[in-house]
Structure formats: C-alpha cells, structure tokens
Structure 1
Amino acid sequence: GLALLLFFRHNEAYTWTNPTCCVHNIIVGKLWIEQYGNMEITNHKTGDKCVLNFKPCGLFGKELHKVEGYIQDKSKKKLCALYGKWTECLYSVDPATFDAFKKNDKKNTEEKKHSKQVSLLVSASEESDEMPMPDSESVCVIPGSVLLWRIAPRPPNSAQMYNFTSFAMVLNEIDKDMESVIPKTDCRLRPDIRAMENGEIDLASEEKKRLEEKQRAARKNRSRSEEDWRTRWFHQGPNPHNGAQDWLYSGSYWDRNYSNLPDIY
C-alpha cells in the first residue's frame, strides 16, 4: 500500500500505510464511508511498530467503524493495545487486559449466536447498501484504559458548510495578512473554490471551466517548446527509510522567494 512519511521534532520518522476506504452509495442513496483492513505505522528511530485492524462493517453493522490493534517493539513484544472507533475515540490499555477482555467478549458473542434463531439472518443480496446503525453502546471501555483521543463536536453551522469539521473549515481560510506571505500558486487562492465557498455556484462552475482550459493551453505551449514541467518544492525519489518511491521536500519554500512562478489562475 501507499506509505506516508512524517517527521517529529524528536528526530523520529514515521511511515504508515492506509486501510482500504470504501465509499458507499456514490450514485444513489445516502453516501457513507467505510474503512477496513490493516494499517501499519513504523517508528524508524526505535523500531516500534503499531499494527491496527479496521473492522469491516459486516451484515448487521456490529463492527461498524471499529478499530483495534497493538503497539509492539522491534522484538515484537506487545507494549500496549489500542481500540475504539475511528469516528469517535481511541483508547489505550495493557495488552494482557485487552486480550482477556476480547476472549470473554468472544465467548459471550458465541453464546448469543447459538440462542438466536437462524430465521433472523437475511441474505446479503436482499439487503440495501444503507449505512447500518452503529451499536447503541458505542465503544465499551475496558477498565484501566486511557483515553488517547476523542473527536471534537461538529460546529453548529456544519450542515451549511458541507458537514465539515472546524478543522476542515479553516483549511482553506485566507486573510489579507496571509496573502502577502504565500505564493500566488497556493490553492487557497483558487478563484473557483473561493466562489464556491461564497455560495456563488454558477461563478465557481465558470471559473473551474476557465482554469481547466487555461491548463490545457499551458500544457500545449510547453509541448511546443519542449519545456518540461518541474515541481518546485518537491521531487520524486526513494524514501530514505523504506526505499519506496515518494515525494521528497526540495527545500527553499520557507525562504519565501516566490519569483518566477507560473500564472496558473
């Protein structure tokens, strides 16, 4: 899978792989997202590794959004267990406590299965692709657990802002002071996005079409002059930690020397 790289000020470098992301009902119905599969996070300084399993939804949605796994050292000794839901919260607990809880939970689940009638099962072909309702109990907190993260509540105007979180809302925010220190190619200056955020949908559509035509013309002109397109602040090369092909920082962005930038908007 795709490996991503992150550096921390403690001179630690992390790479991680993403689980599979499945978007349901893109064409018809209520859109919802499911993450499933394994995610592996490696600390290349210490050799510690976190292996997380994102649970598939299943027929009745019992495992919807659930994630669990372990952090282990380079000798594969489990240091702690992690569990929760990627849409709600994440907890840490001693691995022995977690394993005992899982064993007991599995035993209880199997007993419930035997007591249920087979007629309750519905064939997957008859089921719609509606998002299953999550468990009412949500995340069952194991005694001795430490809360690592909990999702912040959505802002009151989230419904009017494409259901964005507060963080997502400010990603494209811009003010006059900021405009003087960012390059003119910064995506926050894209006129079609600015128009869309201001609710001017027709203008946003027109601007998007204009930008696409401008990009095609620029590409055509480059091919005529045999000029190669070069990315300015990143280049492709081997990741120094795992050898995978990656985008590596070329430097100079923070010098704020933004001369000779192409006119892309």
Structure 2
Amino acid sequence: MWKCSGSTCQVSDLTLVEVHTGGDSPHDMTLPGICEGYLLKRRKWPLKGWHKRYFVLEAGILRYSKHQHDVSRGRVQGSLDVSLAVMSINKKSNRIDLDAGDILYHMKVIAKSHELFYIWVTKLQAHRLFKKNEAAHVQSGFLQTLSVAGLPAAVRNSSRGPPSVADSAAEYFDASDDVLCGSSSEVSDESGLSEGSTTNSEPEEGHVSATRKYRASISKTPNSVVPKSTGRRTTLPAPCPDNSHVGLMAILYNNIGKDLARVSMPAALNEPVNLLQRLCEELEYSELLDTANNTSDPYQRMVYIAAFAISGYSTATFRNRYKPFNPVLGETYECIREDRSFRIISEQVCHHPPISACHAESENFSFWQDQRWKNKFWGKSLEILPTGMVNVTLQRYGDHYEWNKVVTCIHNVLSQQRYLEHYGEVTIRNLKSNTCTCKITFVKSRYWGSDTNKNEVQGTVLDQSGSVIHRFGGLWHEGIFCDTLPTPKCVWKPNPQPKDDVLYYGFSTFAMELNELPPELKPLLPPTDSRLRPDQRFSLTQNVLFSGYLIIFSCNNINDINIYTIYIQIFVCVSIFIFFFRKAKDSCGRDVWLTNETYWKLRENPGFANTENIILW
C-alpha cells in the first residue's frame, strides 16, 4: 500500500489514481513533456499474452505501434485520449489499465523497475490533467463569449456569479475518475481473460472482408419465419420501468473493493428472469441440435453445433439495460417444451462462488452445463467471465461436444448508452471422436470501425491434421453463413423480435414465455421454483409504487436465507439444499455438477406436493 505524499495518493494495490502535476494550480495549462518508450501490451488474440509495443504520449494522446520507426512514419496501430479514460494501476505487477469505455488498454513496464513505472503513471496523470483543463478552458471561454456580450454592464461587472465551467468540468471528471476497478479478490496480477476466452485487441483485415461477404449472403436469406403460436403468452403483464434515475456510479463508488457479485443492486435494475432461466434461454434455437443429430457428415454436424453455440449470444443486443435476478442456493427452475421436444431443470448449486447448473434432455440430444461468473470492473467497462463448460451429446451418433464460453463486456456501464459486446475464442471438441474440431472467434470491435463492424464472428472446422474443412461467419446478432457446404447457405438466423420489444426488456418471444405460470402448472412445481419467488413476481407486474416495499421485504428474507446457507456450506460442509445435482470430476479433473436424475422422477411420483421441501421464501 502506498502512502499519500505531496500530490500523489494511492490507497491500495489496485486502485484509481488522480495526480495533479504540472503546477500549483489545478487548472495549469502547461503542456507536459513527451513520454515514449517500449511497454508490454496485453494481446489476447491471436497471439495471446504480453507483447512489446512502442508507446508515445504527447499532448494527452497515447499512441502505439510495433516499432519506434513505425510511429515516426505515422503507422499507428491505436490511439487513446487519456483524459477520457479511467486509469487503474497495480503496484505489484507494474501494470497500468486505461478504460475509455470503447477502448481498453492493459500495459506493463518491461523492466521490473518501480521508478520507470512511476514515471509513466505520473506522466499519464499530467497529460490527463492537461487535456481536461484544456477542454474546460476552451468551453469556458466559448460560453463566456456567447453570454457576456449580451448582458447589461451591471451584470457583466458583477463580482458574484455561479461556479465557472472549468470548475464544473473538473468536478465532473474527478467524480467520474473516482470509481474503482473490480475487487482485488477477483483480479490477479496477470488478470485478463482465460486461455479459453481471449480478446482480439488488434483485428486483422481478413476478418473485415470475410464478414462483409458473409453479411451480404445473410442479408439475401429470407427472415426466419415467425414461430407458430404455442398457446403461450406473447407479451408481459406490464412494461419495464424507467431505470434512468438509478445512479450506478454512486452504487459502485460505495462498494469500492468489494466483489460486485455480492453487491445488492436496486430492484429497478432487474429484469423479471434470473440466471437459471437464462440458462434455459440458450435453448431457444434447439432445432440446430435436432438438425445436427440428423446430419450424417461429422464436419457438417460440427457446423450446426457451432451455430448453436453462437445463437445463445444473440439476445444480448436487446438486453443491455437490465440484469437478471441472482438465484439463491437451492432455487430451481423447470421448463417443459412439447413444441420443441425438450425439458430442462436448472438449480443454484453453490452460493459463493455462485454456480448455476442445468440439464436438458430430448429424443435428439442432451444438454448440460454448470456456470460460474467472475467480473472485472475497469472504471467504464465491466467484463463478465464465465468459467464453466457447455456439453451436448447427440443421441444418434453418440457424439459428446464440449466448449467454453467467451467474455461479455458491458461498455459505458455508467451511462444510459451502455452496450454489450462478446469477444474471445471458443474451441469445440468432440470427446468421443477426434475426427474434427472447431474454432470460433468472436472479434472485438475495432476502435476505428463503424457500428456495422460490430459483433463479428468467424469460425473454421478442422480435421485431424488441422486442415480447414468448413469456414463460416457472420454477426452473432444477425446470422451465420457457411459457404463451404455442398450448398452454401445461412445455417442460422435469429427469430424476429416481437412488437414493442423495447418496452418489455428487449425480450424475445421465447424469453417472454419463461416466467409464465399457468394455473395447471403451479401445483406441479416444487416451492423452490423461480416462478414462485415473490420479488421476481412483483417485478414482473412492475407496480413499483405499491410493490417496492414488498420487494424489499422479500429480498431481505431471501438474503437472510443466503447468509444461513453460507454458514451451512462453510461450517457443516453438507449440501442439504442441493437436491437434483451432484458434484463430480470430469475427464480433465475439473469440478462439475451433473444431474442425479431424480427431479423428473419425484415430479411424477409422488409429486412435490407430497415430498419434504425446503422453504426459500
């Protein structure tokens, strides 16, 4: 831990810093000197790890290239206005992180020299302060020119007035910079994405041309047919509330250094589904698994499995304003879809760390996963890193596919203009055969690209020798096209969004059906089912003025149960709340949660109304 001395103050090993340099005045307009040299920059695709790059910091702009002579020739790979970024540092690893919302730089000093590290930190802060004061000075002068000319002399000569624009701007920037990165318990010195989920920080031109081609082909494909009526509801009981008044900055500021997964958020930020139901939502396009099960060619089967893996991310485009409810230990959710020929059970099997497990079965496939999430808050962006594996088996061929998930990043998390992005690399393996593998890259959006270049995804199916058999790609929110099939075609395209979906949390038709509770279903459910959870039911009706107190009361009761279950896990070391899944080891020695195949048996005989159940709410 550093101590406060002079104008520099750092309060922890991982913190944001605000340093006033360049003069005694907080509005000093002295241009700081140029700072340049080689630093390590984290690159996560295709060459993972730290790579040496030449950085130049001049007039508040940080630029970098591979070599020094590239900078002198104007060949810049990236640039960042440091005054727009939140800066965090890690003293132990001499690491500097800059988060400008759309741009995220991770840098380290090459030599293990704390002096060199401090020089870069000081210079960055000096340039940040210069740019902020420059912007405030220009704005202040512009506004003064507009206003003073038209004022009476008595008013112009008045010595009293409101605070200057420079003061207001400085106050705003200082407040926004005070937000801290994610908890130190979740972020290591070498924090970044896992090996299975990597970031493309320097996209290549090949992706650009390929995506243009795939997107043109997808656009020529007719839109998906609106799903046939299933007799289920097509809208929610009430529209979503306006949560623009919720101050995320204040919430995060008040929880500096804490694990964000354990921070209680206002009910107005929640959508009326929880993470257990989100696992079920990944089966919205289960027909891709049905098609794979009926495809004889193993390479083409892999294409459909890859399309299914991508399809689970498609709804994120419309779901950037709200978060799902966090399930409590022992909470369950079931979904039976006769129209899609599958049924699924999910359960919260661990409270800390939070782990959600699910298992779905059909005459064509089995689908299961257990997911745990870590989060990293960089100041303006929030990265969500899933660490579990997804599994699918096909009944006809006995294939067992396994793959990882990519990182989800919420950009501009502190503003109402936030948006979601997925990036990283997915590897799909068939554990029953080494005939082929699949690699999928969710391409990180280019800093200099347009909105049409976002959400790119590229994939290849490889044989045992590593030769490419199939290529496919597109946009994960628009569709996937494969041009190497015997008949090139769009293998997946998302269903059209329902009318006025923006008024209903951006839900798809499938998502709107997840929380429906018909009278004939209620007696068949265990009391732990998510649809019976009171705070979630109240949020569904969204009578906020009346139900807000009930939501708070219900949440307090649920939190009490959560605390109790933590004590049970720590001190008693028994899973008395876990009924339908068991902990095991997979072929790689990882902890996994598998179904114990009791849920559907108990549901049928003797029925949950005749069994002993835990009371969660």
Structure 1 length-normalised TM: 0.72
* In 1: Cα distance, 2:467 partner to 2:501 partner: 43
Superposition deviation, residue 216 in structure 1 = 4.3
Residue 598 of structure 2 corresponds to which residue in structure 1?
252
Which residues in structure 2 correspond to 1:34-183 (within 5 Å)? Answer: 34-47=421-434, 48-62=436-450, 63-94=453-484, 145-183=488-526
Residues 57-79 of structure 1 show CA distances to partners (whole Å, capped at 9, x for unaligned) of: 11233531110110123343322
Residues 199-225 of structure 1 show CA distances to partners (whole Å, capped at 9, x for unaligned) of: 222455434433333234445666599
* In 2: Cα distance, 1:220 partner to 1:35 partner: 33
Superposition deviation, residue 227 in structure 1 = 7.9
Matched, 1:211 2:521: no
* In 2: Cα distance, 1:5 partner to 1:55 partner: 23
Residue 163 of structure 2 corresponds to which residue in structure 1?
none
Residues 175-212 of structure 1 show CA distances to partners (whole Å, capped at 9, x for unaligned) of: 11221322111112112122211122245543443333
Gap runs ≥5 in structure 2:
1-195, 197-386
* In 1: Cα distance, 2:455 partner to 2:446 partner: 11
Distance 1:235 1:82, change over 3 A: same
* In 2: Cα distance, 1:194 partner to 1:177 partner: 17
Matched, 1:8 2:394: yes
Distance 1:94 1:217, change over 3 A: closer
Report SS of the residue matched to 2:433: coil
* In 2: Cα distance, 1:21 partner to 1:46 partner: 30
Report SS of the residue matched to 2:524: coil
What is the root-mean-square deviation of aligned Cα atoms in Å? Answer: 2.6
Residue 261 of structure 1 corresponds to which residue in structure 2?
613
Give % identity: 23
Which residues in structure 2 correspond to 1:213-228 (within 5 Å)? Answer: 213-218=556-561, 223=567, 226=572, 228=574
Does the 8 A contact of 1:13 with 1:43 survive in 2?
yes
* In 2: Cα distance, 1:154 partner to 1:216 partner: 35
User: RCO greater where, 1 or 2, for CA within 8 Å and sep 6 or more?
Assistant: 2
Does the 8 A contact of 1:39 with 1:53 survive in 2?
yes
Residue 582 of structure 2 corresponds to which residue in structure 1?
235
* In 1: Cα distance, 2:564 partner to 2:458 partner: 52
Distance 1:260 1:69, change over 3 A: same
**Bigger radius of gyration among the two:** 2
Distance 1:182 1:79, change over 3 A: farther
Distance 1:248 1:203, change over 3 A: farther
Residue 17 of structure 1 corresponds to which residue in structure 2?
404
Residues 82-115 of structure 1 show CA distances to partners (whole Å, capped at 9, x for unaligned) of: 11100100011229xxxxxxxxxxxxxxxxxxxx
Report SS of the residue matched to 1:28: coil
- Matched positions, count: 217
Distance 1:39 1:226, change over 3 A: closer
Does the 8 A contact of 1:193 with 1:204 survive in 2?
no
Amino acid at match of 2:511: A
Report SS of the residue matched to 1:7: strand
Gap runs ≥5 in structure 1:
96-143
Does the 8 A contact of 1:239 with 1:248 survive in 2?
no
* In 2: Cα distance, 1:261 partner to 1:8 partner: 34
* In 1: Cα distance, 2:488 partner to 2:469 partner: 14
Amino acid at match of 1:176: P
* In 1: Cα distance, 2:561 partner to 2:477 partner: 42
* In 1: Cα distance, 2:429 partner to 2:399 partner: 10
Does the 8 A contact of 2:498 with 2:509 survive in 1?
yes
Distance 1:227 1:82, change over 3 A: closer
Distance 1:61 1:207, change over 3 A: farther
Residue 530 of structure 2 corresponds to which residue in structure 1?
187
* In 1: Cα distance, 2:533 partner to 2:458 partner: 40
Distance 1:38 1:156, change over 3 A: same
Does the 8 A contact of 2:439 with 2:461 survive in 1?
yes
Amino acid at match of 1:39: V
* In 2: Cα distance, 1:87 partner to 1:193 partner: 28
* In 2: Cα distance, 1:229 partner to 1:201 partner: 36
Superposition deviation, residue 9 in structure 1 = 2.6
Distance 1:254 1:15, change over 3 A: same
Distance 1:18 1:217, change over 3 A: closer
Structure 2 length-normalised TM: 0.33
Residues 5-39 of structure 1 show CA distances to partners (whole Å, capped at 9, x for unaligned) of: 22333332221111221111221131211111111
Does the 8 A contact of 1:67 with 1:84 survive in 2?
yes
Does the 8 A contact of 2:391 with 2:400 survive in 1?
yes
Report SS of the residue matched to 1:174: coil
Residues 139-171 of structure 1 show CA distances to partners (whole Å, capped at 9, x for unaligned) of: xxxxx6311011111100312211111111112
